[in-house]
Structure formats: C-alpha cells, structure tokens
A = this chain, B = another copy of it.
Amino acid sequence: MLTYKAPLRDMKFLMNEVLDYQGHYKALDNGAGADAETVAMILEGFADFAENVLSPLYQPADAEGCTFKDGEVSTPKGFKEAYQQFVEGGWQGISYPENYGGMNLPMSLNLIKSEMMGTANWPWAMYPGLTTGSINTILQYGDDAQKDAYLPKLISGEWSGTMCLTEAQCGTDLNQMKTRATPNADGSYAITGSKIFISAGEHDLTENIIHIVLARLPDAPAGTKGISLFIVPKFIVNADGSLGERNAVTCGSIEHKMGINSSATCVLNFDGATGFLIGEPNKGLKAMFTYMNTARIGTGIQGLSHMELAFQNALPYAKERRSMRALSGAKEPEQPADAIIHHADVRRMLLTQKAFVEGARSMIYHAARYSDHLSSAVVRGDEAAIKKWDDKLGFYTPILKGFLTELGIESAKHGQQIFGGHGYIKESGMELIARDARISTLYEGTTGVQALDLLGRKVLLHGGGKVVRDYTTGIMKWCGEYALDKDMRQFVWALTKLCAEWNMLTARLLLTARKDRDIVSAASDDFLMYSGYVMMAYHWARMAAVAFDKLKNGGKQPKEFYLAKTQTAEFYFEKILPRTSSHAEAMTTPSEVMMKMDIEHFIID
C-alpha cells in the first residue's frame, strides 16, 4: 500500500534557506499574515490532512472509481467526508481575499497545499483544484455583482467550479469551438453545445457547481477572436443567495480512462442553459491564457507530486527487498542476499527520482513567488502589474508543465522498475502512480503544445530569444559569485558552458526559422527538454551552494541533510545533465528530415 509523508524538511529548506520566502512575503500586499509561525502551522495542517485523510483513500478510490447513473456522478467512498473536512478547515480560501471569506495569504501557500494534497491523492485534489480555476477567472474578470454572488461560496468550498473549454472536435485549437450563446431578454444568455473532458463537471461533493464556459456570441468573429466567457451555474443562484432552479446543463456520461479514475471526467451538455457573460464579449481567449498559466503550473505540480510519491514508496522497498550481491562484495553478509539499494543501477534510479523531485520542488517554489505577485496584482486590479508578472511567469509555465510532467512519468517508471514484477501489480501502487501520471502530459496542453509555446511564443517571438538571454545572464551572474569556490567549481563550469550553448542554440534556431518556419515545431520538444534540464541544473547548483555553506558554517546542527543535497547535486550534474548533449545535437536537425516524407508513404502495404 502507498503511504505519504509530507517532506516538510525539504519544503522548509527551500522556503527558508534557499528562496527566502519570509523576505519575499514581507514585500507582498498580502504577505503580512504569512509570518514564519503561521506558515509552519499551516504546513503542518496540510500535511496532517494529506497524510491521514487523503492518502489512505487513494488506492481504494482508484479501484472503486466514479459511478455515473441518470446524469448523476457519485465519487468513491470517503471522498465526500474528506471534502467536508477540507471545507471546514477553510482551505479552499487560504490565498483569497478576506472580503470573500478567504484567509488572504500568499498564493504560494495555496500551491504548496496543492502539492501535498496532490501527492497524497491526485484525483481527489482535482476537485478543489478545478475550483481555483473558476475562482481566479471570476476574481480577475467578473463584475462586483458576480464576485459577490459566486466567490464566497466558491472560496469557502461549499460550491465547486469547472473550466469548460474542450469540445469533441477541438482541444488545443479553440478556433474550431462551436458552443453558442444567444442573448436572452433578461440580459443572460442561452448556452447550447457540448463540452467534453470536463474534470469535476458533475459530482456529489458540493451543492452547486459553477461552470466557466467558452462559447460564441451570435455576431462573434470567426476563430479565437470570437470567444466569450460565461458563468453557467448548475443551480441558478437567487438574488438572496439561495439555490434556484436546476440549469439546463447535464452530464451525459463520464469517460473510462487509463487512470485518475476517481476524478470524474464528464461530457457536459448545455441545452439552452442560462449563462452570464463574464468579462468583455469576444475577449474570452485572453482570459483563458491567464487561466492556462495557473492550470499549467498546477499540472507541473502534478509532475512533482507523482515524483514524490513514487520515490517515497520505492525507497523502503529498495531497502527491504533482497536480491543478489552488490558487485563490490556482500553488503549484508548475514542475509541471504543484499538489499537492492546496494546495486548501483537501483541507486541510479532512486537518485534520479530524488534529483527530479527536489529539483522540481525548487523550480516550482521559485515560480510560486511570481504567482504571489501576480495574484496580489489581480486582487488589487493593477493591470500593469498583472501584465508584468504574467509575462515573467510565462517563461516558466511551459517548462514547469511540459518538462516536469515528462519527468513525473519517468520517475513513476523508475518506481515500477525498482519493484520489478511487483511494480505491475495493483497492490504495490506503483502502477497507479504510473497511470495517473500519464494524463499530465496530455491535458492542459500536451507536451508538444508546451514545447511550441516555449520556443515559438516565449523565446523566438519576443526580442529574438531575449528571455533566454535574460535568464542565462542571471545564471552567469550567480555563477560569478562562486567562481573561486572549490566545492562549487564543477557546477559553475558546467552551468557557464550550458548558458553559452543555450544562447547559441536559440540564436541558431532563430536564424533557421527565418527561412524554415517548421523548424520551430521540429526543434520544440528537444528545446523544451534541454531548457528544463538546464533550469533544473541551476536550481541544483543553488541548493548545493546553500548546502555547502551549511556544511561549512552551519554550526552544530545535523549535517546529513546538507550532505545528501550536495551528493544529489553531483549525481544530477554527472548522470542526468549529459542528456542536454543529445537534445542540443538533435534540435538543430533541419525540419526537412521530418517534413519531406509524403503523407501516404508512412505505411505502404
């Protein structure tokens, strides 16, 4: 059986020793409440809930799955009770404004909450996770009446939310979206169409569900310039806040999937359902981009979550399971065989998991600081600040989403390999992590979509690779500080070389793309993975620098944690970072190599 223990030591290392969260919080509008003591208390609270309430439900709920009957969806045993506890704890609202019932704490704490809940039980965490999408949308684009009507109950968790984008014929390409909105006499709209893959689209956890729906107005321009956003509540909300009539939005079925079985993935049919325009007409796409940034970071957290759970549960097995002797001689001669953790190849897999999860956490906790700024700008309604932080975050989003979810899949795979044949059996839970991880590179934009967003939009479109230049300048400045540090030398040299190469590759792609537009797509996956590995290397170097400092100047405190950090950093640089070589080499392959095959020649009978 899978178990979860929140890695509080590692979280605190990042927040307090590497990323100076307390200093950062002090500079935030809504950071005052997040003093060290409160943060510690909140982390303990999340940990307790995740470890003791959510984690035990994870495997049984997967086996049970959701049930669909007559338009109603029942979640697995225990989900409702857990959700009730979540609502009672007020945890949906920790990072939302007090005037709507929230705790007004920085958004980063909400992301760390998501990590813990998601690691313990990802499919359960999707229900409150989707709600944050609709809260954020209403908070940023809703008018005051809409905020007053929906936010308090969404922020308390009494109601949940969804985001309804995908239709059968289109996911990524919203140009092809068909759902229609026709004005009613009373200022509302009649929404008609069918949406698929709607997570938490119907369930039994809350008394109302607030759908945010993309649809077209009658006079809308074609394509994405004609998309508007609508609030479509499952039950119409009366003026006094009570629930009115059932709206004409029904769940047609739930999907049978590879995993996340206890998260209901719904077909939602809108049959002239009453909707309320949110934001300006035909400006829905922009709002979706904002939503997407958040959702993609959330999916990046999914990558982190699966890494953590796979690692935590593979490690004890590797210490217990005995097979053969270590090549360098028996390590447990009194036993019939050595524990498999004594085999270098098993350690390679465990250290890969460890390097990934701790590197990923650092990347996410770093980006979470931008989320803090962005979300406090949204609350202030400060458009310039929103744009600034949204842009900053925009560079990280596709890397966190695209790169970390791929690593989440790899990490889950290592977990199965460490378990051997037992990793394929349901009981071990490793196969569940692998199945659940598998969705993360597909939804909220596939890895291909992230890769194109990174290379095409974020890197090449603006200032000819400026974002890479800026980012690597930061790395090189930092490296400069450690140029004479003997312990750090290996990391600093490797990073410096990679910064030069990353810029060179970017420049080369930019040049090629002038004549060969397809190169941007052809190179995108390699560019994404390359960027991810370099970014993670920078994070590992920073963590190593702190750890070396503590080893030398940390006084009497226990040193093991820091020693393991420096050893893991070394492993990452020696054994993982060489992957950049292949990506660097492959990404400059001319697109012609991919494009020239005739579409009918891929298979010839």
Chain A residues at the B interface, C-beta cutoff of 8 Å = 5, 7-9, 166, 169-173, 175-176, 197, 255-259, 311-312, 315, 319, 322-324, 326-329, 336-337, 339, 341, 343-351, 354, 409, 413, 416-417, 420-421, 423-427, 431, 434-435, 438-439, 441-443, 446-448, 451-452, 456, 516-522, 524-525, 560-561, 563-564, 567-568, 570-571, 574-576, 578-583, 585-586, 589-591, 593-605
Q: How far is the CA of A582 from the CA of B591 in the complex (A)?
A: 22
Evaluate whether A448 and B345 lie within 8 angstroms (CB atoms) in the complex, with A172-B323, A435-B258, A598-B560 already known: yes
CB of A529, distance to nearest CB on chain B (Å): 11
**Which chain B residues lie closer than 8 Å to A575 at the CB level?**
586, 589, 593-594
**Which chain B residues lie closer than 8 Å to A574 at the CB level?**
586, 589-590, 593
Evaluate whether A327 and B426 lie within 8 angstroms (CB atoms) in the complex, with A351-B594, A579-B582, A603-B312 already known: no
- Given A257-B431, A581-B582: 5 more A-B contacts, CB < 8 Å: A175-B336, A258-B426, A327-B518, A327-B521, A354-B603
Is the CB–CB distance between B442 and A438 below 8 Å? Answer: no
Is the CB–CB distance between B520 and A427 below 8 Å? Answer: no
Q: How far is the CA of A9 from the CA of B315 in the complex (A)?
A: 47
CB of A502, distance to nearest CB on chain B (Å): 16
Q: Which of A343, A451, A519 is most buried by chain B, counting CB atoms within 10 A of its CB?
A: A343
**Which chain B residues lie closer than 8 Å to A590 at the CB level?**
574
Is the CB–CB distance between B328 and A518 below 8 Å? Answer: yes
Q: How far is the CA of A598 from the CA of B583 in the complex (A)?
A: 33
**Which chain B residues lie closer than 8 Å to A425 at the CB level?**
255-258
**Which chain B residues lie closer than 8 Å to A524 at the CB level?**
345
Q: How far is the CA of A583 from the CA of B582 in the complex (A)?
A: 9
Is the CB–CB distance between B595 and A319 below 8 Å? Answer: no
Q: List 26 A-B contacts (CB under 8 A).
A: A5-B605, A166-B421, A170-B323, A171-B323, A175-B336, A176-B336, A176-B337, A255-B426, A258-B424, A258-B425, A315-B602, A328-B518, A344-B520, A344-B591, A344-B595, A345-B451, A347-B522, A351-B594, A421-B443, A424-B438, A564-B597, A567-B593, A568-B597, A574-B586, A575-B586, A578-B586
Nearest to A579 among chain B residues (CB) is B582
Q: How far is the CA of A518 from the CA of B328 in the complex (A)?
A: 6
Evaluate whether A594 and B322 lie within 8 angstroms (CB atoms) in the complex, with A176-B337, A431-B257, A435-B258 already known: no
CB of A430, distance to nearest CB on chain B (Å): 9
Is the CB–CB distance between A564 and B594 below 8 Å? Answer: no
**Which chain B residues lie closer than 8 Å to A172 at the CB level?**
323-324, 420
**Which chain B residues lie closer than 8 Å to A326 at the CB level?**
518, 521
CB of A602, distance to nearest CB on chain B (Å): 5
Which of B409, B424, B522, B568 makes the CB contact (< 8 A) with A257? B424
3 nearest CB pairs, A to B: A578-B585, A258-B431, A344-B522
Q: How many copies of this kind of chain does the complex include?
A: 2
Nearest to A447 among chain B residues (CB) is B417
CB of A568, distance to nearest CB on chain B (Å): 8
Which of B319, B323, B434, B564 makes the CB contact (< 8 A) with A604? B564
Is the CB–CB distance between A602 and B564 below 8 Å? Answer: yes
CB of A248, distance to nearest CB on chain B (Å): 25
Nearest to A319 among chain B residues (CB) is B599
Is the CB–CB distance between B347 and A595 below 8 Å? Answer: yes
Which of B256, B349, B517, B593 makes the CB contact (< 8 A) with A327? B517
Q: How far is the CA of A480 from the CA of B596 in the complex (A)?
A: 29
**Which chain B residues lie closer than 8 Å to A586 at the CB level?**
574-576, 578-579
Is the CB–CB distance between A594 and B578 below 8 Å? Answer: no
Q: How far is the CA of A605 from the CA of B6 in the complex (A)?
A: 9
Nearest to A258 among chain B residues (CB) is B431
Q: How far is the CA of A417 from the CA of B522 in the complex (A)?
A: 15
Is the CB–CB distance between A9 and B604 below 8 Å? Answer: yes
**Which chain B residues lie closer than 8 Å to A521 at the CB level?**
326-327, 343-345
**Which chain B residues lie closer than 8 Å to A602 at the CB level?**
315, 350, 354, 564
CB of A380, distance to nearest CB on chain B (Å): 35
Q: How far is the CA of A169 from the CA of B564 in the complex (A)?
A: 31
Nearest to A308 among chain B residues (CB) is B603
Q: How far is the CA of A580 from the CA of B582 in the complex (A)?
A: 7
Q: How far is the CA of A603 from the CA of B413 in the complex (A)?
A: 19
Q: How far is the CA of A339 from the CA of B312 in the complex (A)?
A: 42
CB of A60, distance to nearest CB on chain B (Å): 13
Nearest to A586 among chain B residues (CB) is B578
Nearest to A196 among chain B residues (CB) is B421
Q: How far is the CA of A568 from the CA of B267 in the complex (A)?
A: 40
Nearest to A353 among chain B residues (CB) is B602
Q: Which of A322, A596, A602 is most buried by chain B, counting CB atoms within 10 A of its CB?
A: A602
CB of A140, distance to nearest CB on chain B (Å): 26
**Which chain B residues lie closer than 8 Å to A256 at the CB level?**
425-427
Which of B324, B416, B446, B576 makes the CB contact (< 8 A) with A417? B446
Is the CB–CB distance between A420 and B354 below 8 Å? Answer: no
Q: How far is the CA of A521 from the CA of B324 in the complex (A)?
A: 12
Is the CB–CB distance between B176 and A322 below 8 Å? Answer: yes
Which of B173, B446, B448, B599 makes the CB contact (< 8 A) with A341? B599
**Which chain B residues lie closer than 8 Å to A579 at the CB level?**
582, 586
**Which chain B residues lie closer than 8 Å to A255 at the CB level?**
425-426
Nearest to A336 among chain B residues (CB) is B176
Q: How far is the CA of A256 from the CA of B427 in the complex (A)?
A: 8
CB of A593, distance to nearest CB on chain B (Å): 5
Q: How far is the CA of A344 from the CA of B519 in the complex (A)?
A: 8
